[in-house]
Amino acid sequence: MDFANLASQLNAGTILPEGIVIITLLGVLIVDLILGRTSSRWIGYLAIAGLLASIAALCLQWDAINPIAFSGGFNGDDLSIVFRGIVALSAAVTILMSIRYVEQSGTALAEFIAILLTATLGGMFVSGSSELVMIFISLETLSISSYLLTGYTKRDPRSNEAALKYLLIGASSTAVFLYGASLLYGLSGGQTELSAIANGIATANVGQSLGLVIALVFVIAGIGFKISAAPFHQWTPDVYEGAPTPVIAFLSVGSKAAGFALAIRLLTTVFPLVAEEWRFVFTALAVLSMILGNVVALAQTSMKRMLAYSSIAQAGFVMIGLIAGTDAGYASMIFYLLVYLFMNLCGFTCVILFSLRTGTDQINDYSGLYQKDPLLTLGLSISLLSLGGIPPLAGFFGKIYLFWAGWQAGLYWLVLLGLVTSVVSIYYYIRVIKMMVVKEPQEMSDVVRNYPEVRWNLPGFRPLQVGLIVTLIATSIAGILSNPLFTLANNSVTHTAILQAATIVHTQASAITTNQAEDL
């Protein structure tokens, strides 16, 4: 094979955004090695600049003529571009909120950013991988980096405990996923590329075999762990409570987005012959996630644990779009994850600010906060109202789009359950806002009564202020000016070949089922 053919098959320019992240990662390590701790004041901005450059490279690759790279191992289509952008953007905002937090914990900032960039790299590769080996390596890159980040504040016993639990459960889920992938490899006759696996399964006529069903269940178990869907959520509350807050901010958005990207690509490409089965399984996961996440969140006294169960419930809402299996369903997932990025990171920025100033994350300690810190109160209130789906904020339009797509696909009772559990979620979100705003001065908590003077010129606080204001503005106006995001989500679906093929198959199957029902 000559060099020209090899270069055309590799098509390495497709991973230019990931290449920029790798160069940024190496730059952070080299600068820290040369300059030491003196680089900590600006090394975070170097990492953010690299991530923004990566996002710019993703924008330039939109509607690429030849998105397939590495002989089919990586697909840089519009769907992967959006998800890779979400992962990179969540990492950039996470670094803004990490600088002061990591410094105050007494640990090294450069190593933290390097591990976070490695996790970002894993998430971006997961979002575009279309080959089993690359999927597994990318998942492990994301997972192992996440374990390290969870236990990064090694002087905190809660962080050590969270990292150990995350590692043990994560290793189990990885083994389960790998076993499912090995079954796919065997059933397809030794194929690893996703479309080749689907063709191999169809040719071997094992589309309804027990082996394929077992592989499906094992693969879904691995995906369910990544998106923290019930009943694979056991790690979520403990890890959210014990891990450094910027880490769980990234896991709740970046890792979850990568998990959903993997779910869409893997299920629509490899399992079209058992589409009804995997939709049934995801329906059960969505029901469990929405009910358990929202009901258990009512009893939480820790803000981080409440947001953990909220994250489980949000995964249940997003799964409605996946189950719908239509263009609108996939687009609604993408749109919701885009707005979820801003409103969730805005909330976590406020939680970090409060914990830095007070050293606590108990909900009761927020009583009367508006009298001492109006900006933090406003930011947390807007983010919680948006997560609850209150109009005209971004979360409202995201949920409306998801529910509309589900209703159009005939998922009537699932949409009704989503509406009911959304009402439940509003209660525990409003409870926090009531604590901050409605309390009388004499009912102010002792923590807030001793609240330090709000000073943004302290070392490391300016990035937090920037992150808070940017995410607050985005959460506020993304709902009112949502048309560009709608267009982006819709185009990413209509311009992606695998989703168009999956949508056609699903529509034909639905039509056949409807005709059979009418005949009966």
- pLDDT digits over 151-205, tens only? 998 888 888 999 999 999 999 999 999 999 999 999 988 888 998 999 998 888 8
Check residue 209 and give its pLDDT: 82
Check residue 91 and give its pLDDT: 95
Residue 343 in this model has a pLDDT that exceeds 80: yes
Cβ-based neighbours of 74, under 8 Å, separated by 6 or more: 14, 15, 68, 125, 128, 129, 130, 131, 134
Check residue 461 and give its pLDDT: 85
- Report how far residue 78's alpha carbon sits from residue 66's, in angstroms, rounded to the nearest whole number: 11
Decide: 289 and 312 in contact? Cβ < 8 Å. Answer: yes
Give tens-digit pLDDT for 399-433: 999 999 999 998 999 999 999 999 999 999 999 99
Check residue 497 and give its pLDDT: 81
Cα 113-488-499 angle, rounded to 5 deg: 95
Pairwise pLDDT comparison (63 vs 343), residue with the higher score: 343
Decide: 472 and 464 in contact? Cβ < 8 Å. Answer: no
Residue 475 in this model has a pLDDT that exceeds 70: yes
- The three-class DSSP label of residue 302 is strand
Check residue 372 and give its pLDDT: 86
Q: For residue 350, what are its two tokens?
A: 């406020």
- Report how far residue 218's alpha carbon sits from residue 267's, in angstroms, rounded to the nearest whole number: 12
Q: For a pLDDT cut of 90, what percent of the chain falls above it?
A: 53
How do strand 74-75 and strand 68-69 relate by DSSP bridges? antiparallel
- Which range (111-115, 446-450, 472-476) has the least confidence? 446-450
- Report how far residue 188's alpha carbon sits from residue 211's, in angstroms, rounded to the nearest whole number: 11
Check residue 246 and give its pLDDT: 92
Decide: 122 and 142 in contact? Cβ < 8 Å. Answer: yes
Check residue 148 and give its pLDDT: 93
Residues forming beta bridges with residue 131, ordered by sequence position = 193
| CB atoms closer than 10 angstroms to residue 462 | 14
Give tens-digit pLDDT for 352-404: 999 988 888 888 888 888 888 889 999 999 999 999 988 888 899 999 999 99
- The three-class DSSP label of residue 193 is strand
**Cα distances (Å, whole numbers) of residue 97 to 6, 113, 246, 493:** 43, 12, 6, 32
Tell me the mean pLDDT in the region 45-66.
92
Burial of 62 (0-12, 13-18, 19+ CB in 10 A): middle
Tell me the mean pLDDT in the region 278-303.
93
| CB atoms closer than 10 angstroms to residue 232 | 24
Decide: 105 and 239 in contact? Cβ < 8 Å. Answer: no
- Report how far residue 174's alpha carbon sits from residue 177's, in angstroms, rounded to the nearest whole number: 5
Residue 514 in this model has a pLDDT that exceeds 70: no
Tell me the mean pLDDT in the region 93-118.
90
Q: For residue 62, what are its two tokens?
A: 């939109």
**pLDDT confidence band for 515 (50 / 70 / 90):** low
Q: For residue 503, what are its two tokens?
A: 């949508």
- Report how far residue 457's alpha carbon sits from residue 442's, in angstroms, rounded to the nearest whole number: 30
Greatest distance between any 2 Cα atoms in the chain: 80
154 residue type, one letter:
K
Give tens-digit pLDDT for 439-468: 676 778 888 888 888 888 877 788 898 999
- Which range (236-250, 269-283, 380-394, 504-518) has the least confidence? 504-518
Average pLDDT of the chain to the nearest whole number: 88
